[in-house]
Chains A and B, each alone.
Chain A
């Protein structure tokens, strides 16, 4: 598999890891922002392979996990009440527990809720069911937003009137800024998300270097990418440099995908957004522009506010902020498992708790 196999060479990964050991220095805390990185770092045993003075902290990089309990409850209550609708959503959203139920439980009780792989799948459902209203329940960061925006443009172009979207999209750089502003974490650098940056461009992180002196490296998701990205970041820290660097140059540019950006900006506008564990972050969300009101489920239907309560004893909020590791949550692995998740971080394969639970005993690459 081209562009995959070359970046999974074990010997090369071991070689870079040895160089990381050779760069040994003071204690550093590096945050990986993206859930796909969290998953890869756990899956390939990278966390356990690093020298003990390099600590990887998982950030709020799983869109399912950062969706507030209130927003999860809103769609569940909506499904309970509405009769002539089909809700289409991405797979991970099905199992996220709300306060009293989940979409999966609603489906089991007979509600028409379907998993789509692409937002375009919701359009197909709309065309096949002209007598029903189809609501795309969409979460996701900047990687996913242009795909939803393009779908809405297509719905408008084709005059599909029984389709709308309930969107809870969030933006990555404002969350990074909020974490640094909180002062709760002692962070020395960021491993930045490859596919988010493929869209927004690496220039989006310049403020982190200029205003916060936080070095950043945008890395890909294969094990060699992640380890190479960490090497670049650790080298910066060792040399007291503060730069934005791109490891994942085969996909990421400084400007990003300008066409995708234009499509995103045509359909969405920036707004404040509530993040699980963090609360309201100014200008960190997106909402549909007024001219797309016909496709805005929140304008087309009544989607009431939901109870914004964390499950009892669940530490997902602090895990998302990087303040706790999953095994510091009293529920982890006991009451809360991937088979029976209490909090969202145990649901998605990108969730920090799910990654720790599944791969927590991974052997380090160097010795495994």
Chain B
């Protein structure tokens, strides 16, 4: 029920957006979002964008994972 999938905003019309979710075009409401633009990635849950995906943090997490794996002392 709390399943959310990341998707890229393709088009915004008022409070609705067309979003590319894993290759499928879905319509989702932006009523719960502030300051989103075309090109942003958002988590889509039950027909609503619920949060932006932060690219910088995603890269940082992958870097942390790499560091953990590479750190012989951890």
Contact = CB atoms under 8 A, between A and B. Distances in A.
Interface of A: 1-4, 6-7, 12, 15-16, 18-19, 22, 34-36, 61-64, 90, 92, 117-121, 139-141, 143-144, 146-147, 150, 153-154, 193-196, 198-199, 221, 224, 228, 231, 235, 247-252, 257, 259-260, 263, 348, 350
Contacts of A117: 46-47
Given A117-B47, A263-B32, A193 B2 contact: yes
Interface in B17-60: 22-23, 29, 31-34, 41, 43, 45-48, 50-55, 57-58, 60
B6 A3 contact: yes
26 contacts: A1-B6, A2-B41, A15-B68, A16-B68, A19-B69, A19-B74, A34-B2, A36-B3, A62-B1, A120-B47, A144-B2, A144-B46, A147-B32, A147-B47, A150-B32, A194-B2, A195-B4, A199-B50, A228-B64, A249-B61, A250-B53, A250-B61, A252-B51, A257-B50, A350-B1, A350-B3
A198 B32 contact: no
A139 B2 CA distance: 11
Contact of A263 (B31, B46, B47, B58): B31
A224 B65 contact: yes
Residue of A139, A198, A350 ringed by the most chain B CB atoms within 10 A: A198
A166 to B, nearest CB: 16
Q: Chain A: interface secondary structure?
A: helix
B65 A251 contact: no
Nearest to B73: A22
Contact of B48 (A1, A147, A231): A147
B73 to A, nearest CB: 10
A251 B43 contact: yes
A313 B33 CA distance: 45
Interface of B: 1-6, 8, 22-23, 29, 31-34, 41, 43, 45-48, 50-55, 57-58, 60-62, 64-66, 68-69, 74
A263 B34 CA distance: 12
A141 B1 contact: yes
A92 B65 contact: no
Contacts of B46: 90, 117-119, 140, 143-144, 147
Nearest to B69: A15
Nearest to A64: B1
Contacts of A248: 61
Contacts of A224: 65
Given A3-B6, A19-B74, A198 B60 contact: no
Contacts of B6: 1-4
B50 A198 contact: yes
Contact of A249 (B2, B41, B60): B60
Nearest to A227: B65
